[in-house]
Every structure is written in structure tokens, then in C-alpha cells.
């Protein structure tokens, strides 16, 4: 059976070429280091990439211009959201007012049994946008401080008249300034500012600026306190010290009130002017508002119609 499994072409003497004595002699003399050498290991552990390590980012960092543009865009978005919320709030409040009978005059707050009723509707939280409410409130408090200072000036001039009978003219003028400047200041510069912020009116802004500059000038004159002008300013106070020290000290305090009023008015004038420049108001828009307001006035329309009729009759 083994005869059939053998190779008839094989050399019967050499069945395995690696068993040749010359080959076995060479393999036995090979150093052990060569047998264990592996060119792919080099004696170090294989390099394996950790999949949890962060890969390199090739995106360029944003520039300063891009950062500023993004910040400006976010600010505009916030402003739009605030304006939208303010419009919704004012719409709800107007609906509530209409449901309760509409807007009714509430200023000055007079008793119900008083023979004269309120003349104006005044509500800063409803009429004025949120971003301008703080400024309008400060101007309103400044007007109240203005009224209180005029009343204090009346007391100071009365005290001066009590210690010096020749100062009756100052006392009379102090009464006149209180009765005249209190309502005129409210109507001539506070209400125009209130309406300017309420309806974004350029014409009312210019009215406020013109009248308020004159008002600041009056504050400066009253703080100086020229004798005979009905103002407890610095000159009048120092003059009164020669007659009565106590009354002179009271008038010095009033002069300080006039000085503080002038300084705060200048500060608020500058602030309002800065806010005006951020709005859409302009001199051209003020002219257009004035022209449209004059032409829409019924008295002006009636006078123009009469003048046209008279001119037509004369031509005929």
C-alpha cells in the first residue's frame, strides 16, 4: 500500500531538501537575535490612534469685525423685541382705557368737587415708550423742583420784606414769578417734551429746545439774584446779611437751589439733545409738521377762506 503513496519521480536519497547537511549547518549557526528580529516592531509598541482624542480644527477664528457685527445684530434684535413688547403693552392699555370710557384728563389732580377740572391727560407709563420713560420722569421731577424753588423764593423774599420794609417790590415780583412761571413752564417746555417723546414730533422737540434755553437763562439770572428782581439769589442774600443774618442764611440756601436748578437743567438739556439725535427727528420734518398743523387748524382755514373770498370780490 505504501508503494502506491510514494512519489515515483522523487529522489529516494533526498526526501526533504531542508534536511541537507549543508543547509542544516548554516541554520544552526544563525544568531538568536536574527531569529527574533521583527522589522515592524523596532522594539517599541505599535502606534495606535485613540478615537477619543480631538481632531485638529481647521476653521479660522472669527475676526473682531465679525464679533462686532454679531454683537450689533444681537443688540438690534433685542431692541426690536423690546419695541414689539412695548407696542403690545400700549395696545393692551389703550384697549383697557377704551373699555373703561376712554382717556380722561387727570392732571392736575384736583378734587372731584373742585369747580375746575383737570386740564391734561398725563400718564408716563402709557404714553411714553419704555426707553424714554426715565428721562421724562426726571424732567417732570425737575419741573416739580422748579415749582418748589419758586415757592421757597417767595418765602425768602417775604422774610426779607419783614426785616426790610423797602423790599416790598421783591416780594411782589416773587409772587408774580410763582404764579406765572409755574403753569407757563409746564405748558411751554414740559408738555412739548412729553408730546415729542410720545409721538416722535420734531416740531415739539424744537419748541422744547427754544423755550428751555430761555428757562435756563432765567435760572441763571435768579441764581445771581439782582436786587429788585424778586429773586433770592447770591447778591440779594449777601445784601440781606447786613440786615439780618438769619434771613440772609435762608436766602443763601435759596440761591443754592437756583444754582442747582440751573446746573441740572443744563445736564438734562444735553441729555435730551443727545436722545433727540438718535431719533428720526429733523428740522425739515419739524417744518413739515408745522405746515401741516397750521393748515389743518380750523381757525387758519377759516381765515384763509375769508381772505380768498375778499380777494376774489375785490377783483370782480
d(CA 13, CA 11): 5
Bridge partners, residue 120, by sequence? 107
pLDDT score for 49: 56
> Does pLDDT of 25 surpass 90?
no
d(CA 254, CA 306): 53
Q: What is the CA radius of gyration of the chain?
A: 47
Q: What global pTM score does this model have?
A: 0.66
> Does pLDDT of 204 surpass 80?
yes
pLDDT score for 130: 86
Closest CA to 164 of 244, 252, 253, 233: 244
Bridge partners, residue 107, by sequence? 120
pLDDT score for 195: 92
Grid cell at residue 263: 446746573
User: Each residue of 117-147: pLDDT tens digit?
Assistant: 888 899 998 889 888 999 999 999 999 999 9
Question: To 5 degrees, how large is the angle CA 189–CA 191–CA 193?
Answer: 70
Grid cell at residue 259: 444754582
User: Each residue of 44-98: pLDDT tens digit?
Assistant: 555 555 555 455 455 567 777 878 888 888 888 887 787 777 777 667 766 666 6
pLDDT score for 96: 65
Contact 200, 281 (CB under 8 A): yes
Band of residue 300 on the pLDDT scale cut at 50, 70, 90:
very low
Amino acid at each position: 500500500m505504501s508503494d502506491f503513496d510514494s512519489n515515483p519521480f522523487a529522489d529516494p536519497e533526498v526526501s526533504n531538501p531542508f534536511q541537507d547537511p549543508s543547509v542544516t549547518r548554516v541554520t544552526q549557526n544563525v544568531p538568536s537575535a536574527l531569529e527574533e528580529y521583527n522589522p515592524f516592531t523596532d522594539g517599541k509598541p505599535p502606534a495606535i490612534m485613540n478615537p477619543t482624542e480631538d481632531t485638529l480644527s481647521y476653521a479660522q477664528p472669527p475676526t473682531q469685525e465679525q464679533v462686532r457685527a454679531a454683537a450689533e445684530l444681537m443688540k438690534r434684535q433685542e431692541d426690536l423685541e423690546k419695541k414689539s413688547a412695548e407696542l403690545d403693552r400700549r395696545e393692551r392699555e389703550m384697549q383697557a382705557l377704551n373699555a373703561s370710557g376712554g382717556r380722561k384728563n387727570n392732571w392736575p389732580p384736583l378734587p372731584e368737587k373742585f369747580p375746575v377740572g383737570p386740564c391734561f391727560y398725563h400718564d408716563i407709563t402709557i404714553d411714553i415708550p419704555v426707553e424714554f420713560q426715565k428721562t421724562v420722569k426726571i424732567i417732570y421731577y425737575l419741573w416739580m423742583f422748579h415749582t418748589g424753588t419758586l415757592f421757597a423764593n417767595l418765602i425768602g423774599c417775604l422774610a426779607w420784606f419783614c426785616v426790610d420794609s423797602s423790599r416790598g417790590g421783591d416780594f411782589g415780583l416773587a409772587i408774580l414769578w410763582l404764579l406765572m412761571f409755574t403753569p407757563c413752564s409746564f405748558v411751554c417746555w414740559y408738555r412739548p417734551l412729553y408730546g415729542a417723546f410720545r409721538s416722535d414730533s420734531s416740531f415739539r422737540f424744537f419748541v422744547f429746545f427754544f423755550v428751555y434755553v430761555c428757562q435756563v437763562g432765567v435760572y441763571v439770572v435768579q441764581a445771581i439774584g439782582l436786587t429788585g428782581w424778586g429773586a433770592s439769589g447770591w447778591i440779594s442774600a449777601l445784601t440781606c446779611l447786613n440786615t439780618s443774618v438769619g434771613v440772609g442764611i435762608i436766602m443763601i440756601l435759596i440761591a443754592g437751589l437756583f444754582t442747582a436748578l440751573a446746573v441740572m437743567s443744563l445736564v438734562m438739556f444735553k441729555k435730551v439733545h443727545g436722545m433727540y439725535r438718535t431719533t428720526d427727528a429733523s428740522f425739515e420734518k419739524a417744518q413739515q409738521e408745522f405746515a401741516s398743523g397750521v393748515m389743518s387748524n380750523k381757525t387758519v382755514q377759516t381765515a384763509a377762506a375769508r381772505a380768498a373770498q375778499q380777494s376774489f370780490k375785490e377783483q370782480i
